[in-house]
Amino acid sequence: MNKDVGFFNFSINKILTKEQSILDQARIRLLYYGLLLSIVAVSVLLINIYLEHQYILGFSTSILLLSIIILFKYLTFRPRWGIISHILLVLATVVNLSTVFIALQTVNIITAQIIFLIIVFSFYMLGQLCGLFYSLVNLIPVLIFLVLTYNDNYFIGLKPKIVDGSTIIIVTFANFILLIFIHNHFYAAFIKSMKQLRATAEERGNLNIEFEKVIEKAEKSSQAKSEFLSTMSHEIRTPLNAVIGMSNLLMMGNPRPDQKENLDILKFSANNLLAIVNDVLDFNKIESGKVVFENIKFNLVELMQSISGGQILKAEEKGLIFKLEIDDQLKSKIVFGDPTRLTQIIFNLISNAIKFTHTGNVWVKVTCVEDRHNTVTVDFSVKDTGIGIEKENLDAIFEPFTQESITTTRQYGGTGLGLAIVKRLLELQGLQMSVYSKPGEGSEFSFLVEFPVSTETVVEQAEKQPWVGGIETMGNIRVLIAEDNLVNVMLMKKLFSKWGITPTIAENGERAIEMVQYGNFDIILMDLQMPVLNGFDAAIEIRKMRDPRKANIPIIALTASALFDIKERVFSSGMNDYVSKPFKPDELREKMQNLVETIG
């Protein structure tokens, strides 16, 4: 409704608004012009009645005319078409029934017209239920009247009025005009509505086409971003592999103290750069919905000890006291879950705690909150005595590429993605992070996880002795390295010489297949992105060889690629394991030994 409409408004344009539907606008127009026609028709009828000196009928007609004028004024001031329609139908019903039962005491063409008008008007204006109601209220009494008069059972004390022919002609003509107007008006509204629906459907179809194009463009953009990140990851990891690998080789050569200090700085900087690259790739993987959670058995205590093992050294380097406390109830349990993602979460929290703590302690607590035999609820908590976080910044620290302040970023570095990754990984599992922190006193991050418990129990094993490779144990291993990068080739040769191994080099996948056909090897290290033939296709061809020994040779994928489905593609192509560049020499050596002993 237009709020600017004044009481003295008589224009229909001011009571029509864009918010009204086509049907509602048609109803308002019908009332507006229909009431005007009714005012003219009733006025003519009133003049004719007074000329015929039928004053009683003229009085009732005057009241009807006044009622119509009031409704017309109300419509132009407040276009509440529903209320006005009900009032008009009630008036028409009263006029119809009083004319039939009292005034004329007969049913003629005028009565039939009025009933038809009421039926058409009520259905068009108020819908099916109201239309049915007003139709029956007018039709049933008239039918009863016809039955009574047919059996000569109807009688009242009032004498019926005699209406002359001119009055009947005027009323009949006016009723026909109103009927034609109502049908014509709503037919035009119906046609207009159909045209608008067709136009809307066409517009929606065009929008759907545009929307599909936008979605396709967004998908291509997302794919391009993923491919770009993968390519950049490969390009960054490849030189990083050389930097970190050469640092490891130089440190294995018993450097002087001053050289060792320089190598430590070099390795630390390279590892920091690698951590930044990994954070960006992990966050992109999570945001792209590519994360799939495993549900495998693992020993929670061993996992926590493994995570904390490397972090203890970092804490001690900063002079911090690192404490790992694990509930005794968990030491005999094997649980189901995703140890990789849990490691990522805990590792990030501990790294942050050590990073932002200058003096004091870092506590890692794993507490059994509830043990229901088949499931166990565990509370993981990482607490520190570090710089703390302002209350108003607690939400901001979980946003990507955000730290508490610019000062924090400059002082401590980092991408600001660690906690964002933690939060997203927890949310994807339906978990929430709780944070308690006081500036200058420290912070505590905690979350609850419910694990299904395996029926297996932890068996005490003898302490596993670290395997020490050397000429005696690895010198006889025949290794084929499929690698096209000359720097990586030089690095691998130097590293393997430390283990007493002289590897054979294939510069691409096709050359690797030829060497396997005509030579004998115990294991293959396969780069994935190579010219001529990539590592995936090369592995597939090797698995097709007729010689069972050659077809089953252990293959380790060794690559700097960071595609989301890289592991699945590695295993589906027939390779046995996967090591990401830059790799840890001990990790690679252990995997090589295990595969050679198991398969070879």
CA distance 244 to 550: 33
The CATH 3.40.50.2300 portion of the chain extends over 471-599
Q: What is the pLDDT of residue 508?
A: 92
Give the chain's count of helices (H) and strands (E).
18, 12
Nearest to 145 by CA among 172, 107, 110: 107
Half-sphere exposure of residue 245: CA atoms within 13 angstroms, side-chain side: 24
Half-sphere exposure of residue 234: CA atoms within 13 angstroms, side-chain side: 16
pTM higher than the cut 0.85: no
Continuous segment of H or E residues that includes residue 370? strand 361-371
Nearest to 387 by CA among 365, 346, 359: 359
CA distance 46 to 52: 10
90: left (phi over 0), alpha (psi -120 to 50) or beta: alpha
Question: Is residue 284 within 8 Å of 229, Cβ to Cβ?
Answer: yes
The token pair at 531 is 């010219």
CB burial of residue 464 (10 Å; 0-12, 13-18, 19+): exposed
The token pair at 543 is 């698995």
CA dihedral 146, 152, 158, 164 (to 10 degrees): 60
SS3 521: coil
Strands 361-371 and 321-326: parallel
Backbone angles phi, psi at 44, to 5 degrees: -60, -45
CATH superfamily of 471-599: Response regulator (3.40.50.2300)
Cis before 255? omega within 30: no
The token pair at 382 is 């990482």
CA distance 178 to 86: 17
The CATH 3.30.565.10 portion of the chain extends over 294-457
Nearest to 171 by CA among 70, 315, 57: 57
The token pair at 327 is 């509930």
Nearest to 448 by CA among 394, 367, 372: 367
The number of beta carbons lying within 10 Å of the beta carbon of residue 184 is 10
Q: What is the pLDDT of residue 309?
A: 77
CA distance 259 to 240: 20
Q: What is the pLDDT of residue 411?
A: 44
CA distance 468 to 194: 83
Q: In terms of DSSP H, where are the helices of 389-433?
A: 406-412, 418-428
The token pair at 78 is 């407040």
CA dihedral 140, 146, 148, 149 (to 10 degrees): 160
CA distance 319 to 447: 27
Q: What is the pLDDT of residue 22?
A: 79
Q: What is the pLDDT of residue 410?
A: 41
Cβ within 8 Å of residue 255, ≥6 positions away: 263
The token pair at 165 is 């022919």
Per-residue pLDDT of the chain (600 residues; tens, 9 = 90+): 555 677 788 888 888 888 888 788 888 888 888 889 889 888 988 888 888 777 777 888 888 889 989 998 988 888 888 999 999 999 999 988 988 888 788 888 888 888 988 998 898 889 889 989 999 999 999 999 998 888 877 777 777 777 777 878 888 888 888 888 888 887 887 788 788 888 888 888 888 888 888 888 887 877 776 667 666 666 777 777 778 778 877 887 788 888 877 877 777 677 767 766 766 766 766 766 667 788 888 899 988 988 887 788 888 888 899 999 999 888 888 999 988 889 888 988 998 899 889 899 999 999 999 988 789 999 999 999 988 888 777 777 777 655 444 444 444 444 557 788 888 889 888 999 899 988 888 999 999 999 999 877 655 544 444 444 443 457 789 999 999 888 888 888 888 988 889 899 999 999 999 999 999 999 999 998 888 999 999 999 999 999 999 999 999 998 776 555 677 889 999 999 988 877 778 888 888 988 988 775
**CATH class of segment(s) 294-457:** alpha beta
CA distance 214 to 197: 25
- Helices 81-98, 22-51: axis angle to 10 degrees equals 30
CA distance 271 to 279: 12
Angle at 76 between CA 70 and CA 64, to 5 degrees: 20
CA distance 227 to 238: 16
Residue 184 vs residues 110, 121, 180, 191: alpha-carbon distances, Å: 21, 12, 6, 11
Question: Is residue 582 within 8 Å of 551, Cβ to Cβ?
Answer: no
